[in-house]
Structure 1
C-alpha cells in the first residue's frame, strides 16, 4: 500500500505541474499583454485555444494508445509537455508563445487521462474515488499555491521564470516516474478506432459529458477574466489579487476534496445542490458587481463548487466503459478532462465576447445561465439513468 501511495503522489505531482502550466495564464494575463503589446482579450485567446486543442487532441491520442505500455506513453507525452513549457519560457513573439501553448495542450490532456487510468488500476476498488480525487487535486493545489506565487513572481520578477521552473521540475518528475510506475499495465486490446468510438452511442455517456461542459463554461466565463475583474471592475489592488487568488485556489481544493466523498449512487442529486449554489453565486455576482466584498464572497462560493463534479462524473464514465466498452477505458477516463476543456473553451470565449460587448459586470449573468443548463442535464440524467 505504501508503494501505491507513492505512485499516486507522483501522479498528483504530475497533475499539479499540468494545472500550474494551464492556470497560471489567468494570473499573468496583464503581464503577457504588456510583454507582447497586445490587448487582454487577445491574450485571453491563449486560454480558449489551449482548451480547444486539449479537447480535440486528447481523444485522438488516446484512441492511438492501443495496447502500448501506459507508463511509456505517459513518459513520451510528459516529455512533450516539458518541451512546450521551455518554448513558452523563451518565446520572443506572440506567435511562438501561442505555438508553445498549443504544444503543451496537446500533451496535457492524454497525460492526465493516462494518469487517472493508472491511479484507478493500481488502487483497490473501495479506494478509487478517494485516489482519483487526489490525482485531480493536483490541479487544485496548483491553484492554491502555484497561481498566487506565480502571479507574485510575474509581477515582481519575470513571468518567464515560471515556465523554466515548470520545465526543470517536469524533467525531474519524468525520471522518477520511469523508475516507479508499473511497467506492465496496458489498455485492453480493442478493434480499432471505430470500436472504441462506440461508447459515444450510449445515451447516458452523451448526457454525462454535458455536465463538465456546462459546469466549466459557467466557471471560466468569470475565471478567465478574474484578474481584470478584480482590479478594473471591483477595485482591488494587485497585492489583494494575489491573496484572492490564493483563497480562490483554496476553495477549489476544498471543492475537489468534497468531490472525493461523493460516491453514493444518487450523486446526481448531490451535484444538483452544489450547482444550485454555483448558479446563485454567479447571479449574485452580477447583481452585486458594484459592491466589491459581496462580489468577492460570490466568487469564492463559485470556486467551492467548480470541481465537485470531478470524481463522481469520472467514475460514472469509467463504470459504463468497464461494463460495456472495455476497449474504450483510456478514452473514457479522459472524458472529464476533455469535456471540461470544451467548457473552458466555450466559457473563455463567451467571457471575452461578454467583456467586449457588455462589460466585466455581466460575466456573472452569462455564467449563471450555463450553471442552470448543467443543473437541467443532471435532473434529466437522474431520471433516465437511476430510475
Structure 2
C-alpha cells in the first residue's frame, strides 16, 4: 500500500482508540464524577451523535479546501478535543471535549476513503479502504487495551493525553506523506444531496446504522457486564478488550478480502452471525469461556460489514456523481448506530433488565440490519433480471 494510506491508517488508529476506549473507562469516569454507569455512557453517545452531525457539516464547510488540507485541519481539531477531555474539570466539560473530537471523525473517514480508493487499482479499492480502516481494528487490538490499562493503573485522563500524542503523530503523517492533490471538481452541494434520493443508497445506510448499533449496544457496557455477571476481575477488562480488538481485526480482513467478490452474500452471513452470537451471549454471559468466545465473534461479524458497506455506498453515490458527502455521511451513520446502541444498552440496564440485557437488544438491531440487506439484495436481483429480459 502507498505510504499515504499508512498515514491515513495511523490517524484512523488514533480516532478508533478515542472512540472505543471509553468502553473500558466508564467505571473510572463514573467514580471520579460521582455519576452512574449509564450516565457515564453518555460519553459514548455524545461522541457518536457528534460524528453523525459533524460529517456532513464539515464536508459542506470544507468543500473548497483541498483534501489534504482538510485532513490536516480535522486532525488538528482531533488533538484539541482530546486535550479538552483530558483536562476536564467536570463531566459537562468532558462531554464537550468528546463532542469536539467527534466532529472530525466522519469527515476524516469520508475523505480518507475516497483518497485511499483513488490511490490504488480499481480491483483493490475495497482492500485499500479496509487497510485504512485497519487503523480502527488495530486501535481495538492495541490502543483500547493499553488505554484501559492506563486508566486502571494511572488515570483515565492519562489515556486521553496518550491519544492526544497519537493525534499529533497522525497530523504530521498526513502533512508529510499524503500527496497534495487539488480537488478535480468542487463538490456541488445540491448534486451531492441528490445521492440521498437513491433507495439503494438509503438501504445501505440503514444497514450502516443498525449493523454497528448491534455490537455497540453490548460492547459499551462490557466492563460492568463482565465484572458483575461473568465475575471477571476488573483488571481482566484490559485483555477482554484485546479479544474484542482481535475480533475486529479478523472481521476487517474478512470484509476487505471477500467483499469485492461477493459483497451482499458476505453481508447476509455476517449480520445473521452477529444476531445469533448476541442472542447466545445474552443467555451465557455468566460463563467466562462463552463470554470470551462471544466477544470475539460479535466483533468479527460486526466489523466485517464496515468496509463493504462503505464501498457499496460510495459506488451508488459515485454513480449519482456525489461520492464525497455520501461517503462522509455514511461514516456519520455508522456512529449514529453507535449512539443508538449505547443509548439502547443504557436504557435496558436502567430499566432494571440487568447488565446482560444489551446483548439481546443488540441481537434485535442486527436482525433489522439483516432484513434491510435482504431487501437491498432482492432489488439488485430484480434489476438484473429486468436488464436480461431487455437484452
User: Structure 1 residues 353 and 385, CA, compared in 2 at 3 Å: closer, same or farther?
Assistant: same
8 A Cα contact 1:266 1:386, kept in partner: no
Instruction: Give the distance between the partners of 1:299 and 1:179, measured in 2 at CA.
Output: 38
What's the offset of the Cα at 1:365? 1.4
Is structure 2 residue 119 aligned with structure 1 residue 125? no
Alignment deviations for residues 196-219 of structure 1 (CA, whole Å, 9 cap, x no partner):
211100010011101111111111
Q: Report the counterpart of residue 376 of structure 2 in structure 1.
A: 381
Q: Report the counterpart of residue 302 of structure 1 in structure 2.
A: 298
Instruction: Give the distance between the partners of 1:264 and 1:118, measured in 2 at CA.
Output: 18
Q: Report the counterpart of residue 370 of structure 1 in structure 2.
A: 365
User: Structure 1 residues 149 and 319, CA, compared in 2 at 3 Å: closer, same or farther?
Assistant: same
User: Structure 1 residues 127 and 353, CA, compared in 2 at 3 Å: closer, same or farther?
Assistant: same
Is structure 2 residue 327 aligned with structure 1 residue 348? no
8 A Cα contact 2:243 2:295, kept in partner: no
The one of 253, 257, 282 equivalent to 2:253 is: 257
User: Structure 1 residues 371 and 180, CA, compared in 2 at 3 Å: closer, same or farther?
Assistant: same
Instruction: Give the distance between the partners of 2:203 and 2:237, measured in 1 at CA.
Output: 37
| RMSD of Structure 2 on Structure 1 (CA) | 1.5
8 A Cα contact 1:70 1:187, kept in partner: no
| 2:303 match: secondary structure | coil
Q: Report the counterpart of residue 218 of structure 1 in structure 2.
A: 214
What's the offset of the Cα at 1:386? 3.4
The one of 317, 320, 323 equivalent to 1:324 is: 320
| 1:236 match: secondary structure | coil
8 A Cα contact 1:63 1:196, kept in partner: no
TM-score normalised by structure 2 residue count = 0.94
Instruction: Give the distance between the partners of 1:290 and 1:17, measured in 2 at CA.
Output: 33
What's the offset of the Cα at 1:90? 1.0
Q: Report the counterpart of residue 91 of structure 2 in structure 1.
A: 94
| Count, aligned residues | 381
What's the offset of the Cα at 1:187? 5.6
Q: Report the counterpart of residue 234 of structure 1 in structure 2.
A: 230
TM-score normalised by structure 1 residue count = 0.95
What's the offset of the Cα at 1:67? 3.7
Q: Report the counterpart of residue 385 of structure 2 in structure 1.
A: none
8 A Cα contact 2:231 2:286, kept in partner: no
What's the offset of the Cα at 1:110? 0.9
Is structure 2 residue 198 aligned with structure 1 residue 202? yes
Q: Report the counterpart of residue 55 of structure 2 in structure 1.
A: 58
User: Structure 1 residues 14 and 386, CA, compared in 2 at 3 Å: closer, same or farther?
Assistant: farther
Q: Report the counterpart of residue 386 of structure 2 in structure 1.
A: none
Q: Report the counterpart of residue 327 of structure 2 in structure 1.
A: 333
What's the offset of the Cα at 1:87? 1.1
Q: Report the counterpart of residue 35 of structure 1 in structure 2.
A: 32
Alignment deviations for residues 249-290 of structure 1 (CA, whole Å, 9 cap, x no partner):
111111011110123464112211122111111111122233
Gap regions ≥5 residues in structure 2? 383-391
Is structure 2 residue 186 aligned with structure 1 residue 189? yes
The one of 92, 103, 106 equivalent to 2:103 is: 106
User: Structure 1 residues 288 and 58, CA, compared in 2 at 3 Å: closer, same or farther?
Assistant: same
Further displaced range: 328-337 or 255-264: 328-337
Is structure 2 residue 72 aligned with structure 1 residue 75? yes
What's the offset of the Cα at 1:188? 2.3
User: Structure 1 residues 381 and 243, CA, compared in 2 at 3 Å: closer, same or farther?
Assistant: same
Further displaced range: 354-363 or 283-292: 283-292
Instruction: Give the distance between the partners of 2:263 and 2:77, measured in 1 at CA.
Output: 36
Instruction: Give the distance between the partners of 2:170 and 2:365, measured in 1 at CA.
Output: 37
Alignment deviations for residues 204-253 of structure 1 (CA, whole Å, 9 cap, x no partner):
00111011111111111101101110101211112322111111111111
What's the offset of the Cα at 1:301? 1.3
